[in-house]
Amino acid sequence: MTTPLDWSGFGHVSLAGLLFLCLAAALAGAVDAVVGGGGLIQLPAMLLIGPGGQPIYSLATSKVAAVVGTAAAVRTYTVQTTVDWAAALPMAFAAFVGAVGGAAFAGSLEPGVLNAVVLVALLGVGLYTWRKPELGVADRPRFSRPAQLAAMGAGGAVIGFYDGLAGPGTGAFLVFLLVGLIGFAFVPASATAKIVNVATNLGALLYFIPAGKVLWGLGAVMAVCNAGGAVVGARLAVRRGSGFVRRVFLTVVVALVVSLGVKAVAG
């Protein structure tokens, strides 16, 4: 029989539970670094273990691990590929503001309504990407520079708000926005999405930390594991190219659709 950890910063999880969460965080970091969707792995794992006794603690603590993992992925991407910082940073700022607002409303929206909207959106994203194999193979800008920045800012704010609400698939939505609407190739889209995702996680934490919802001991341990996975995932994405990222993207979208579909049927 396992013994709960005495330190309340771990949410009184057992040692076996802590190991399980570390493995989930490492896998989530790797998947998230490639194309997003790591939250599909990490957050459900935390909800299963239930640290702190309330779902809000799982949500808040998962953001600590995620922000460190996405930051590690950003560093790896910036060393190995070119990032359009002049476009990425304004988008990240808009997403940060959106995430603060989304976190403030976390729990106020009926989960069934949000899940239904996301499920429909993901089905559209997956079908569109699958039917266009040339999508994201190379950079194909679709707008003038001012229009591109405006579209990225608006999209970043909306997706940031959604991330603050703890919706799954934030990274996948960011990648699709950048590939499908803006015209990025998959690898630079993944790099930019990670920069924006750092901002959305920080925005959510700006609300959760003062509210006292973060379990710092658990968050720190999971952050190390998430970061390790993120570095591996980012290196794979750069080495294998946009075709590999596209395949992972479609796999993650299918997994998200199945997960949300099962949740909707189960009620």
Identity at 120, one-letter amino acid code: V
Cβ atoms of residues 193 and 36 within 8 Å: yes
114 CB burial (10 A radius; 0-12, 13-18, 19+): middle
117 pLDDT tier (thresholds 50, 70, 90): low
Identity at 234, one-letter amino acid code: A
Q: Give the per-residue pLDDT at 5.
A: 43
Mean pLDDT, to the nearest integer, of 187-196?
92
d(CA 261, CA 4): 34
Q: Which stretches of the chain are DSSP H helices?
A: 15-35, 39-49, 55-80, 85-104, 111-131, 145-164, 170-176, 186-208, 216-240, 242-266
Which of 10-24, 85-99, 187-201, 252-266 has the lowest average pLDDT? 252-266
Q: Which position has the higher pLDDT, 185 or 246?
A: 185
- pLDDT of 128 above 80: no
For 29-87, write each residue's pLDDT tens digit: 998 888 777 777 787 788 788 887 777 888 889 899 999 999 999 999 988 888 999 99
Cβ atoms of residues 122 and 250 within 8 Å: no
